[in-house]
Structure 1
Amino acid sequence: MKLAVIDQEGKQTLGIWTSVGIVNMAKAAEVYGNGGTSLPGEMMDVIREGEAAVEALRSLLAQLPPQPDRSVLISDEELSFGPCVPVPQKIICVGLNYRRHAEETNSPIPEYPILFNKFNNSLTGHQASVAVPGVTAKLDYEAELAIVIGRRAKNVSQDEALDYVFGYTAVNDLSARDLQLRTQQWLLGKSCDGFCPIGPYLVTADEVGDPNRLAIQSIVNGEIRQDSNTSDMIFACDEIVSYISRHMTLEPGDVILTGTPEGVVLGLPAERQVYLKPGDEVSICIEKIGTLTNRFVAEA
């Protein structure tokens, strides 16, 4: 199932992708009824309630006719995506987690996952404009698969780790390289406003299958810049979840960015480094997940 958060008139609506369009689930329940089943009202409710919520939504979808009433479909004019995980408690990022990315930046292969964080101010959605901050001249893209936790996880084994995952989504881990590398701490270059576009869909784990075998790309102004596979990760998704859970409790809705493959601007020779600027458009494409696209604008 592909779930989305749609912004409508200042309110967030839970939508689900179908072959005939994105269904407004609240409106679908009004028109077709929910069979007495309690439906989750918001995305964070779906994540917290887990399989019971997903089954309730599937049951409602099954009641829809092949051509549902137009009122339950979100029209293109209304289609404004919010972050598909609106209010995670934690956004945890893994640095240098692809072998060829570590090699292109002349970095040693990490012995342990390198962890840092972003904050909720960095969240934005598919097709949202991202302002290029005036404080950076080196804004870089990073295509990443994100893990979304579905159950409280503490000290979980690697074998059981993926059982705690609700689903996966696409993220652009935007990085102001001049700010990131100004000190030994990366946070400043990673957490400016809008630096974590996420979505468009949160795809349930059962639909994704093995997260360690997914094609992943970034496309800048129509040119493929990153073209890899999550199988190049140094630490696989189950290892990452297990490792983090041994150091802190993961809560439903926590988002884990799993690192980026080779092909970022930072990895190019100095004479070929052209960083993002207003007017650029970046798409992050991940197999079974979808395509996340954002356009960059000048800071007001």
Structure 2
Amino acid sequence: MKLISYRRAGKPCFGAVVNDGVVELSGRLEGVADLAALLADDAALARARELAASAGASHPLAGVQLEPVIPKPGKVVCVGINYVEHAHEAGRKIGAHPVIFQRYHETLIAAGAPLLRPKVSEQFDFEAELAVVIGKGGAHIDPADAMDHVAGYTCFNDASVRDWQFHTHQYGMGKNFQATGALGPWLVTADEIADYRELRVTGLLNGEQMQHGSLSELAFDIPTLIAYISKALPWNPGDILATGTPSGIGFKRTPPLFLKAGDTFEVTITQIGTLSNPVVDEA
């Protein structure tokens, strides 16, 4: 099942994508206010599947305004240097523990919305990633049980302002400019992905492939990441885990290649879909 958050007539909604239409689920599932709440409720999810299979489309997909899959996640936890080849291009070694940093939900945008190149930097880079959406919360999760906490998967562009990223040893500022984290277009529920390690992530700039990698290449796999982070903070439904980017980022190319106004960057993940965003300059 493909699930989206969107706005219609200015009202926040959520629904299931079926072909080119949307089966609206808002207001049809008792006690379920948004997509994060749906992901936490097994009975409501089962009812949502029934509606997606039997109800006609409420709206054409092209007629709704998409929002980030989870518009205001409580946590967006990102992982750096998590593909072996990306570590090599960055001149970094894979350590004993994952490199963790955070994003604020205010930085997130939907599929189709413009990525905003900040006026304080010309080093605006792309990072194609798989994002995991948490459905079942919990703390001190055993790695053997971690996949039970996954609701589904979506595409993410962790677009980064490189000079600001390296102002200090902490990544935070370069990862938290407004309108730089594209998330979507939809969530594909975990039951439709037999083995996430078979997924392949591709990043395309103006139609030209820049990045390509397999989830089997992660230095720290998804169960390890979920379990590790849960030792510090409990996961909650709707939280986002961004799993890292493959090699090919613009910053490490010769010469470096950065996003500029008029560009379009796409994140394509097999079995999930394509997240596409244009680039504009900050006013």
TM-score by length of structure 1 reads 0.90
Is 1:23 matched up with 2:29?
Answer: no
> Deviation of residue 137 (structure 1)?
1.1
1:12 — aligned with what? Answer: 12
SS at match of 2:204: strand
5 Å-filtered alignment, 1:173-188, equals 173-188=158-173
5 Å-filtered alignment, 1:40-59, equals 40-49=32-41, 51-59=42-50
Is 1:141 matched up with 2:150?
Answer: no
> Deviation of residue 143 (structure 1)?
0.6
> Deviation of residue 182 (structure 1)?
1.3
Q: Residue 109 of structure 1 aligns to which amino acid in structure 2?
A: I
2:214 — aligned with what? Answer: 229
CA distance change for structure 1 residues 89 and 157 in 2, over 3 Å: closer, same or farther? same
1:73-106 Cα deviation digits (max 9, x unpaired): 2352x23210001111111111000000000111
Fraction of identical pairs, as percent: 34
2:51 maps to which of 55, 60, 70: 60
> Deviation of residue 153 (structure 1)?
1.6
Is 1:247 matched up with 2:232?
Answer: yes
What is the count of residue pairs matched by the alignment?
A: 283
SS at match of 1:249: coil
1:210 — aligned with what? Answer: 195
Q: Residue 13 of structure 1 aligns to which amino acid in structure 2?
A: C
> Deviation of residue 296 (structure 1)?
0.6
1:108 — aligned with what? Answer: 93
Tell me if the contact between 1:38 and 1:56 (Cα under 8 Å) persists in the aligned partners.
no
1:33 — aligned with what? Answer: none
1:162-192 Cα deviation digits (max 9, x unpaired): 1011111110001000100111111000000
Compute the RMSD of aligned alpha carbons.
1.6
2:59 maps to which of 66, 73, 95: 73
**Segment of structure 1 superposing worse, 238-247 or 18-27:** 18-27
Q: Residue 241 of structure 1 aligns to which amino acid in structure 2?
A: I
1:32 — aligned with what? Answer: none
SS at match of 2:271: coil
Structure 1 residues without counterparts, runs of 5 or longer: 30-36
Is 1:279 matched up with 2:262?
Answer: yes
TM-score by length of structure 2 reads 0.95
1:299 — aligned with what? Answer: 282
SS at match of 1:100: helix
5 Å-filtered alignment, 1:162-173, equals 162-173=147-158
Tell me if the contact between 1:39 and 1:57 (Cα under 8 Å) persists in the aligned partners.
no
Separation of aligned partners in 2, 1:152 and 1:14? 21
Separation of aligned partners in 2, 1:62 and 1:229? 31
Tell me if the contact between 1:123 and 1:198 (Cα under 8 Å) persists in the aligned partners.
yes
**Segment of structure 1 superposing worse, 206-215 or 133-142:** 206-215
SS at match of 1:193: coil
1:197-249 Cα deviation digits (max 9, x unpaired): 10101111111222222111001001010011111110011111011112221
Pick the structure with greater CA Rg: 1
SS at match of 1:160: helix
> Deviation of residue 110 (structure 1)?
2.1
Separation of aligned partners in 2, 1:75 and 1:230? 29
Q: Residue 47 of structure 2 aligns to which amino acid in structure 1?
A: A
1:23-73 Cα deviation digits (max 9, x unpaired): 22348x5xxxxxxx6373421221232x22210111223333xxx3x6x12
Separation of aligned partners in 2, 1:210 and 1:164? 15
1:34 — aligned with what? Answer: none
